[in-house]
Structure 1
């Protein structure tokens, strides 16, 4: 370090500063209101406030505009690093090194350029786990020295941490609101974690269920889980615990915002962790291509035939279809039918990541590219798909500013990792999928025309389940068989009335909704028979409503009213059936209906069903006696 240095090191370029601010948006959101509150004080004392990331790189500068220019000459500006390694003894770098408040005045600075300044700084810690999130500093010319500067900056850091804590708590509450219904309705072990993989809540079954998956010691010791978002997408790093390959992980979203994840361990069967040599990718199992797609209806066969034909050429394919129709199964089938079948099949959901995380997942990054980056860097999904197939699901959700970089990869056959200057050659087959109208997104400016025509060289529309009702019996039997084996419940069958209900339902969630409905019904079935009351309420209600209409028509000749049953009456009938089935147990009835217990209380009062509860409980009491 040169003690005669006149300034700090050169700053990052504008794009890198933007990415840095995005990665630290949580910290910037917390300090934003406080900057406005302290601006007048800073101007009056001829000082500026400086916010940095954990590595000492400046994120934000605010305060007296009269000293911003001389600070700029020192390179005390966003994008510049002021650690002790880059700037010698200075308040920002020394506070981060010691992880405690410091005040560096005038000649106490190491570099000559800083000796006419006085600075006080401290660190900002995560209130959840105590990790250092950044530093905050107040700086001014030496004559503005005040013994109150250090207490002021410590107080400000405390207020920032308080705001971070409140913001984290609000996110955790929203996470719980979006996941507790599942957590309370299942006998599976469920662990809810936030977007950083930190444990938020578990249900009563979690400890035993995760122990069966191989979690040793206390359940809490297994958290936090690094790279939880990537693991949820199927990219489990080699160093990760084996039980993460067995547990089911579901993303909890609110709009486009990922609040956290649910880790689910089945309580019905005993699973043991798989060894790495036991875990085989789908493409290496040598099963016939497209064999995972169940059905023989004309619309489905047409789509499969087109996919088989296009698999022979190495052109990009765009799969078009609603959520849940099986776009990934088609993508795997195309891969297995192609000349790249022996190469990797790499899938990435563009809608499951924030902008900055998607960038690193897609392109990879070099060592030290950003805060929290792995020491050895990371290969992106594009590189991982080399000599194989890259499947981009929900490609319409790819942020607009990432699209030209991805287009360049497709045009040049080269990928540039974040933080590197040398491109790497890649050769992969691209399959993209979307449930959006990409032409409409082009019209509103959220999708690039040139990328669209590069992706949609050929396209395959996949029919929704309502357009291939002839496949329903085969699909029902397929998922019933899988659920029997998975939950170890033997020969479960579907009652005729329940089967008719399933056949008449519109299935807006397509095959994914059907699978979930069958899994839930198998778990709820009594005596090995799935009845209409075991199906989700949204499937039951239309059938009950239609049945009530049929009954009104058949009794029209009798001296009774043949009026059509309203939707409210159909809902009341569903609730009455659930109350009777569970003998007045509202907790179980609410779980069956798929609503919160508090909501059930409201509906019972609304429809005047209190007497039905009392009757059901009296019957139970008599039976027990």
Structure 2
């Protein structure tokens, strides 16, 4: 660092008296000019003059807990990446008279760690989570000024703009996004004036660097996983163009066809061609579609890339000559393919267990009692929920669906209960109605209710018992009446025993329970389901449904279908898109379904080619758990501490799906 810049960055306590004289002269309307006053401090004072009260002796009061939760949620990755650094600060700053402070890009304090003896002085000036230390609020200070100028800075004693914090010494460095260099927050070392050390700034810079490295490693790991998915998808692209977007909406990869197809699509619109690098698909958490999506992009062309509950990014599939066909997909398929008023008759299947479930559902439909739908992911719980609504007492009322596993705790709380205007930072003007309130007079469908955070469950229970809901930030209850349909792929009784689900809520939602069979338990229905789903898919795409060719059902019946009907639908949709004739053949199915030669039953491991030693160890751990639990993937996922959807992804990645199927068959 050049000498001049170095002098600008570090404080010189020996100049403190001269700096104080300059500050007093500046407040009296004179020029603060002094060789002892650094230019960065002079510039900051001028920004603060007339905007900040120089007599301020503390930051504004910290925000309320619910608002702080929202801020922490929006900075969750920064907090997670900083966790190790902040934890170590408890030890290496102990008895130093200093604390380490992490803030977001607006200067709001997220966490504080360090010497416990400084707790009272820090709280006296509101140097605590939820308080804002931006320069515009608190005047010249290391946190706010570092964020303002985008570089490390040390501010000591008299250099602060506000008189009430002039007995402090602080050193801060900004934390930047390793991908686009935008400022994410700041890390600060603060203490009373006698704790001054030039090394404090070096420590802040080093800590910021460690945090940025952790963010970079996480981002690259997510990028590699995204590109792995792209390589798998590339084999199914055909003549389509593919553009991969990371989770921030930045284009990171494209196949050879993408640029040409973008040009052709632009000509159809008579618009200038857009370069791939200029195309963005920003996707905010909790949203079902990207923000500011160009109007020429059909939402059906976007494939979100999810691993468990984590969004890695998305793939934009640009159709070739079939663009008009794809655009027809915006039309929703009619709810029924035939004019039957019995909604349950639209549920396809003749297997005895499935028909027993449908018949029991018909009996329960007219009752207002809550229903708990049990079954694996993709068995069609949402279809049953819609049928319950249509055949219930209030079919003309609203049907509100919420996936309890698709949101963070804070977002799920807002989604369910809504909030009043000004309830927290970022709350929209006029507030927001929650799904509990919106379902009044109709049906509320809570999918994946087993994923609901434990501390949120008593609030839902209270609504179910009293029929009253409070929006966040309000004290006035609102009356609601709805039919509750809940669904889960978890064993809620086991969850209750493990303390992960409240017993009182379980008995409140499980007044009646309906178990839906997995697809592998009703293989005889595969033909009916395949024909029905093909007809639906073809109708959405505006084409004739192909016939199912010889051998296709044999291939489908050999598959284990861990994703059940949802997986079958995806397989058939992919096959339809590459089927150019009027018969769907085995060749149109994904290659992993068409491998008709199973491995020997005593060899449950795939070839090791292309798998790292770490992945080999992970694969072996998965297979050991599969053997221990005799192929029960629900208990395997619980034993490994991962989501079931993540387990399926790993089984597919490591080539273990066929091995698991063989093991299950051997168990008989």
Q: TM-score, normalising length from structure 2?
A: 0.70
- Cα 1:167/1:8, change in 2 over 3 Å: same
Instruction: Give the whole-Å Cα distance in 2 for the aligned partners of 1:90 and 1:281.
Output: 62
> In the TM superposition, what is the alpha-carbon distance from 1:443 to its structure 2 partner?
1.1
> In the TM superposition, what is the alpha-carbon distance from 1:425 to its structure 2 partner?
4.4
Alignment of 1:502 with 2:556, yes or no, is yes
Q: For 1:169-568, what aligned pairs fall within 5 Å after superposition?
A: 169-187=220-238, 188-207=240-259, 217-227=274-284, 229-231=286-288, 242=295, 246-247=299-300, 249-267=302-320, 269-271=322-324, 288=341, 289-290=343-344, 292-365=346-419, 378-418=432-472, 422-484=476-538, 492-503=546-557, 507-525=561-579, 528-541=582-595, 566=600
Structure 1, unpaired ranges of 5+: 546-564, 573-593, 601-625
Instruction: Give the whole-Å Cα distance in 2 for the aligned partners of 1:308 and 1:489.
Output: 34
Q: Decide whether the 8 Å contact of 1:252 with 1:258 is kept in 2.
A: yes
Q: Decide whether the 8 Å contact of 1:23 with 1:356 is kept in 2.
A: no
Q: Name the stretch that deviates more: 370-379 or 93-102.
A: 370-379
- Cα 1:566/1:156, change in 2 over 3 Å: closer
SS of corresponding position for 1:436? coil
Q: Decide whether the 8 Å contact of 2:495 with 2:501 is kept in 1.
A: yes
1:399-424 CA deviation, whole Å, 9 max, x = no partner?
Answer: 22222222233233344444555555
Counterpart residue number, 2:34? none
> In the TM superposition, what is the alpha-carbon distance from 1:442 to its structure 2 partner?
0.9
- Cα 1:64/1:502, change in 2 over 3 Å: closer
> In the TM superposition, what is the alpha-carbon distance from 1:364 to its structure 2 partner?
3.8
Instruction: Give the whole-Å Cα distance in 1 for the aligned partners of 2:437 and 2:202.
Output: 50
1:20-69 CA deviation, whole Å, 9 max, x = no partner?
Answer: 44543321232233346666764586432211123322222223333333
Q: Decide whether the 8 Å contact of 1:246 with 1:274 is kept in 2.
A: no
> In the TM superposition, what is the alpha-carbon distance from 1:486 to its structure 2 partner?
5.6
Counterpart residue number, 1:70? 121
- Cα 1:462/1:155, change in 2 over 3 Å: closer
Alignment of 1:82 with 2:82, yes or no, is no
> In the TM superposition, what is the alpha-carbon distance from 1:231 to its structure 2 partner?
0.9
> In the TM superposition, what is the alpha-carbon distance from 1:274 to its structure 2 partner?
8.1
Structure 2, unpaired ranges of 5+: 1-51, 607-648, 656-668
1:297-342 CA deviation, whole Å, 9 max, x = no partner?
Answer: 4443433333334332333221122222211111111222234333
Instruction: Give the whole-Å Cα distance in 1 for the aligned partners of 2:339 and 2:173.
Output: 59
Alignment of 1:50 with 2:84, yes or no, is no
The root-mean-square deviation of aligned C-alpha atoms, in Å, is 4.3
- Cα 1:4/1:483, change in 2 over 3 Å: closer
1:514-560 CA deviation, whole Å, 9 max, x = no partner?
Answer: 2233333344557654444443455444x656xxxxxxxxxxxxxxx
Instruction: Give the whole-Å Cα distance in 2 for the aligned partners of 1:523 and 1:280.
Output: 17
> In the TM superposition, what is the alpha-carbon distance from 1:491 to its structure 2 partner?
6.5
Q: Decide whether the 8 Å contact of 1:197 with 1:228 is kept in 2.
A: no
Counterpart residue number, 2:6? none
Counterpart residue number, 2:80? 29
Instruction: Give the whole-Å Cα distance in 2 for the aligned partners of 1:281 and 1:478.
Output: 13
Instruction: Give the whole-Å Cα distance in 2 for the aligned partners of 1:369 and 1:198.
Output: 32
SS of corresponding position for 1:165? helix
Aligned partner of 1:142 among 172, 185, 193: 193
- Cα 1:376/1:270, change in 2 over 3 Å: farther
Instruction: Give the whole-Å Cα distance in 2 for the aligned partners of 1:571 and 1:88.
Output: 64
Q: For 1:583-602, what aligned pairs fall within 5 Å after superposition?
A: none
Instruction: Give the whole-Å Cα distance in 2 for the aligned partners of 1:22 and 1:365.
Output: 16
Q: Decide whether the 8 Å contact of 1:88 with 1:110 is kept in 2.
A: yes
Q: TM-score, normalising length from structure 1?
A: 0.74
Counterpart residue number, 1:157? 208
Instruction: Give the whole-Å Cα distance in 2 for the aligned partners of 1:568 and 1:205.
Output: 44
Q: Decide whether the 8 Å contact of 1:269 with 1:486 is kept in 2.
A: no
SS of corresponding position for 1:50? strand
SS of corresponding position for 1:496? coil
Instruction: Give the whole-Å Cα distance in 1 for the aligned partners of 2:275 and 2:433.
Output: 33
> In the TM superposition, what is the alpha-carbon distance from 1:9 to its structure 2 partner?
3.3
Q: Decide whether the 8 Å contact of 1:315 with 1:457 is kept in 2.
A: yes
